[in-house]
């Protein structure tokens, strides 16, 4: 639900009794695709703003936090990530970060709405710089069905860059989807999925970790990071592995990474895994 004036874009968060407002100078684009409403605004301080169905997806100013933390912790935790699938991620920011890893041999991104990617290519070209990488395959299909049909033990890492767990996105937070992901992963294999605000949406984190365990994942762990343009300013991704400990990190490789990051480094990787006491207590119930 949104309310707008000529100068402000506002996203309401009724479940938290709060709202986030960004000052805008002009609307740049609006369309109703077959699946959702896509809007782009120019803001005064946050660069361009991408909105889907009234919810903030990204800004040019702070999207690096989300995209780096959805990609690099998982890639540097896996011993040899070669085959990567991204479910969702139509703005291509996560894809851009994955493609920075030279050891990755193939990246397939499956997003149901091609229009999100085409709008991103027009208004956020910096996020789409890897779209023509020969290792990349862009598919505009139902990601849930694609995962159900994926060959067993064919992937090293699955990244679920999804919208909120409401409407069409709800099925990406479900036991059947997690079971399909588990079947498609090799040993060892990792899954990482955006998992909302640890402050405002704790039941979602608890439910995800329980369902991932029920689907056969041996370990789960939230990754915490700041995200100013999202509700509460504090966000999470949930990491799940089908074997071994999730605290492992190829530290030397992460330290010597052959690309630039703005937020991610080994220290922020370790910090993201450090849970404050209230989360330790609340998530212990699913162990």
Contact indicator for 235, 41 with CB cutoff of 8 Å = no
What pLDDT does 1 receive?
41
What pLDDT does 170 receive?
72
Provide CATH code, domain 63-284. Answer: 3.40.50.150
Q: pLDDT tens for residues 174-219?
A: 899 999 999 999 999 999 999 999 999 999 999 999 999 999 999 9
Contact indicator for 109, 84 with CB cutoff of 8 Å = no
Q: pLDDT tens for residues 54-78?
A: 999 999 999 999 999 999 999 999 9
What pLDDT does 225 receive?
98
For residues 173 and 171, what is the distance between their CA atoms, to the nearest angstrom?
A: 5
Nearest 5°: phi and psi at 262? -100, -25
What pLDDT does 287 receive?
60
Q: Which of 53, 91, 156, 161 is catalytic?
A: 161
User: Which residue's entry shows tokens 């060959």?
Assistant: 151
161 belongs to the catalytic site: yes
Domain chopping of the chain, boundaries: 2-59, 63-284
Contact indicator for 108, 86 with CB cutoff of 8 Å = yes
Low-confidence ranges of the chain (pLDDT < 50): 1-5
What pLDDT does 77 receive?
96
Dihedral angle over CA of 151, 155, 161, 166, nearest 10: 40
Contact indicator for 211, 175 with CB cutoff of 8 Å = yes
Beta strands 185-194 and 219-226: pairing type?
unpaired
User: Which residue's entry shows tokens 């033990």?
Assistant: 153
For the domain made up of 2-59, the CATH class stated in words is mainly beta
Beta strands 83-88 and 37-43: pairing type?
unpaired
For residue 140, give every residue at least 6 positions away whose Cβ sits within 8 Å of its Cβ, in sequence order, or none.
Answer: 110, 111, 112, 113, 114, 117
How are the residues of the chain apportioned to helix, strand and coil, as percentages rounded to the nearest 5? 35, 30, 35
């Amino acid at each position: 639900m949104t309310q707008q004036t000529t100068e402000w874009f506002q996203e309401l968060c009724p479940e938290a009794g709060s709202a986030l407002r960004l000052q805008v100078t002009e609307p740049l684009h609006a369309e109703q695709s077959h699946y959702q409403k896509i809007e782009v605004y120019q803001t005064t301080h946050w660069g361009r703003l991408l909105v889907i169905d009234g919810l903030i997806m990204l800004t040019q100013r702070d999207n690096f936090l989300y995209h780096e933390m959805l990609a690099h912790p998982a890639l540097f935790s896996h011993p040899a990530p070669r085959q990567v699938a991204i479910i969702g991620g139509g703005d291509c920011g996560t894809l851009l970060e994955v493609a920075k890893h030279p050891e990755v041999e193939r990246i397939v991104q499956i997003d149901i709405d091609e229009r999100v990617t085409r709008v991103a290519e027009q208004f956020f070209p910096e996020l789409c710089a890897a779209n023509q990488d020969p290792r990349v395959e862009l598919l505009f299909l139902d990601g849930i069905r694609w995962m159900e049909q994926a060959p067993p033990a064919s992937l090293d890492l699955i990244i679920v860059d999804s919208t909120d767990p409401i409407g069409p996105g709800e099925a990406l937070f479900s036991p059947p989807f997690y079971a399909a992901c588990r079947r498609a992963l090799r040993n060892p294999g990792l899954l990482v999925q955006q998992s909302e605000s640890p402050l405002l949406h704790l039941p979602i984190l608890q439910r995800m970790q329980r369902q991932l365990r029920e689907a056969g994942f041996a370990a789960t762990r939230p990754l915490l990071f700041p995200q100013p343009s999202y509700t509460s300013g504090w966000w999470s991704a949930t990491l799940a592995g089908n074997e071994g400990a999730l605290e492992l990190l190829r530290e030397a490789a992460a330290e010597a990474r052959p690309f630039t990051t703005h937020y991610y480094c080994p220290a922020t990787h370790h910090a993201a895994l450090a849970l404050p006491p209230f989360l330790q207590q609340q998530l212990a119930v699913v162990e």
